[in-house]
Amino acid sequence: MKDEDRIRIRHMIDAAEEASAFLTGVTEADFSKNRMFILSVIKDIEIIGEAASKVSANTKANYQNIPWSDIIGMRNRLIHGYFDVDVKLVWNTAKNNLPSLLNFLKKILTDS
């Protein structure tokens, strides 16, 4: 794997860990009422998507269990549709998808 891909995957891991840390002990109701939480988690999801978009096609092909296009698509939606963000979708992504993504990404770094 290229060093640049390792760096991008590390950025994805850092942002996923940060988003998870922000949500530790936070309920969905608390999250949906707190603009600081919302914006912080959105920013981390944007970072994950931006880093994913910079990962080489070869690495993406080698790790097809990661939904690269979905990750990038969510980043694009958050960036360009900032005025109409579905907070429930952000919550569900952060709580339900980031933990498994984080495990996959860490495995990539330890396997390669």
Catalytic residues: 75, 80
Distances (CA, A) of 57 to 14, 22, 51, 63, 104: 21, 31, 13, 10, 17
Q: What is the DSSP letter of 84?
A: G
Question: What's the number of CA atoms in the CB half-sphere (13 Å) around residue 88?
Answer: 0
